[in-house]
Structure 1
Amino acid sequence: MKRILMVGAGSCQRSAILRIRSLGYEVIAADYNEWTEAKGLADHMVLADAFSPEDILRCANEYRVDGVMTSGTDQPVLSVTVTQNRLNLPSFLSDETALLVTNKKHMKERFREKGIPTANFRIIGRGFSDSELDGMCPPFVIKPLDSQGQRGIFKVGSIEEVRIRLESVLKDSRSSEILVEEFYKNDEITVSGWVDSGRVHILTITDRVTFSPDEHIGVCTSHENPTKHIEKHGVQLKELTRKICKDFIIEEGPLYFQFLIGNEGIKVNEIACRLGGAYEDMTIPYATGADVLRMNIEGCLDSGYDKSDLKSALVAEGSRPFSTRLFFCGEGKVSYMTPVEEIRKLPYVLDAGYNIHMGDLLPAILNASQRAGFVIVKGDTRREVEENLIDLRRTMKILDEDGNNLIRTL
């Protein structure tokens, strides 16, 4: 039986671990947490830092694995790729490309070098001088170079606020520098697809709905397929996606690119070479017929994996409508939750899950790690999806001790 090392074992890797096992492979789950629900589904659990290529290489050697992969998470892509290439295992990316798509300093510099539109930016460190931000106009967005889940990201109004927040940003980074961008008022768009021997297949183009940037910048609350911008900007989004793949030498595997549409047109926010963390391993097969999770799994074992789904997949414009609700809750103690089995039985629900439990004391929302759960709602049309969401809101409840519904974003 072939063995696959799954790097990361959170809720975003749960369905991948189950799918690996259903395909008849053995799963080793590596994560820095002692135990997670997803880790408990694997054949073997390993304590390791998914962000550390050294840790993942050690695990791969120890278990003599036949393949290494991740899903739904950015930073482990570098650890996975380095391990694959050191052990001569099948790999979608070169080490250089994996670094470019996981480190925002290298990513943004490549954008600038290749003329890819992106927000004006600088890279700064402790003790920076005001002159390093000459030519930039506040407000600013400050970010770690190598984090994920919107950790350590802040919208600030002045250079002085950059100084005040700098250490808070660095707490979520392994770097001594941070990214400073000009804030660009926008609608966010996500392009998901697959590259087959250099040919780019764009599968879905979704609206990435977020909290207000003045509340929790960049924290996603839903993905809506297809995007409302498909008619006006669909062609340009596809052209830009293909240019990025060429300029970053992305020749194989999954794509998850984030774009910003505002009054200066389309700008690229960031790019990743992995399945998305909004359960795209379920929504893309439903919406297009392309089983990207199977391809990801088989592609980490065999470079000649079956990609025939791409030939018959629906294009983004014709993909089936859905809404992935990534819901959050207000502060309070959980005293009741509508059973997840009841939600999954609803005829318009593709899947659902909770990240919280009865009795949990829920904190204030800081970033995407406070996500309470997800529900994927389907329908034959966008209007039907919206009607189904109204019914879901009547059905689904998470109550505190006073009977108040804690759900904020559904």
Structure 2
Amino acid sequence: MSDTPLLHYSTSTAPLQAGTPDKPVANTIDITVSSPAGQKIYCKKLEIAVPISAPDDGGAYFTENPQSSITGKWGTASAQMKIGQELGLEPATNYYHVIFQAPPIPGFDLIDKPLTISITGNLAATPGSTLTCPTTETSGTTSGKYTPKTPQDLTWDTAKPAFYLHNFLAGAPDEPTIPKTKFNAGDEVSLSWESNGDFFHLYDGDGTVLHEGRETSWTVPADKIFSDTTFTLRASDTGGFETSYQYATITITINNPTLSELTVKGPLGVNGKLTAQDDLSVSNSLTADLLKAGSVTVTQHCQIDRDCNITGGLTSERLVANGDTKLNGRLEVYEEATLDGAVTVRGRLTANGDCDVNGRLSANQDFSVSYGGTEKITTVGKSGLSVEGDFNVSDHGTEKITTYGYNGLCVDGDLTVNGRIRN
């Protein structure tokens, strides 16, 4: 086996990325095989030995059996692992022995067009080392007459891989391979990423560190995330003269968020329950089924189809509440207010226009009604009730108390006065 190879070989020149045994990097080596200009070379077989264990000299190697392919009319005849001793190579090194063979068809052994071989796999290496693949051809100058030629080493340089961070994904812990960005409040959120960095910091939307470590995945515990959150991941690489950083972000949406404060400049519609732990401000209109909040400010129409429970005050241009209304603070309605259920006001109730009460009106403190700057009804500063002008009280269409059309007070039913009645 002393013959010199007849074919010409060229290899990809860009350095391969040198991964580590625990973090190998995907690489592809390309080999172009052609006949020298003006010569007819016939080839029956091409054998390539790809190292798949660390060579004695510390060179590069693939960490698993790579995938191989060839262009043109040739095909892969066989590919299997062999120890170096079987191939006459380094005995302590394992190789992936790939054999490309010309089909048994007349003329197919003539290398009249270049053959391109590609071998892809995960590579581990010390940066600056060399990947060496001994290659043997069985060829000749006449079709059907071939001899194995002396193996020649095809080599590729390696370099430190580029620092990367990508595929930052979220998912449910029981389905980590399915990307997902919508969750319910308090759900566990499984986060994963791909990187060759050596340390990672995970931040929430407030910039608080949720997790730090070397692993490339982490699960946000239950009862941690209650509103839409953008997670930021920082990857660190300390392999150079100074630390380098890469950043990635992902935003998850919470279907039923809990908000500390909400400001809406347009209409706000809620088909279910609206709960705000603090103040709620709407610059347009508000429509909700149930409303529970600290204090509420609505610059236009506010409609609550069921109960309204506000621990602070409620300010609105117009108000419609079809259920029970409970306020511990101040109620201000600049135009019309319609309250079909029970109304409880722990603080001050001011009506600057007409006030029609179809049910019971109860105040645990003083109340006052004014119109046009004139106080018409008040208990403020009085031991009872002071009325300036006419007033009327009805129940289910029956007038019970009125001064309209009378020179005094007409009461249809019993009248009980615990205090003084005076002009």
The bucket for the TM-score relative to the shorter chain is under 0.3
Higher-Rg structure is 2
Q: Give the strand-richer structure, 1 or 2.
A: 2
Q: Give the helix-richer structure, 1 or 2.
A: 1
Q: TM-score, normalised by structure 2?
A: 0.17
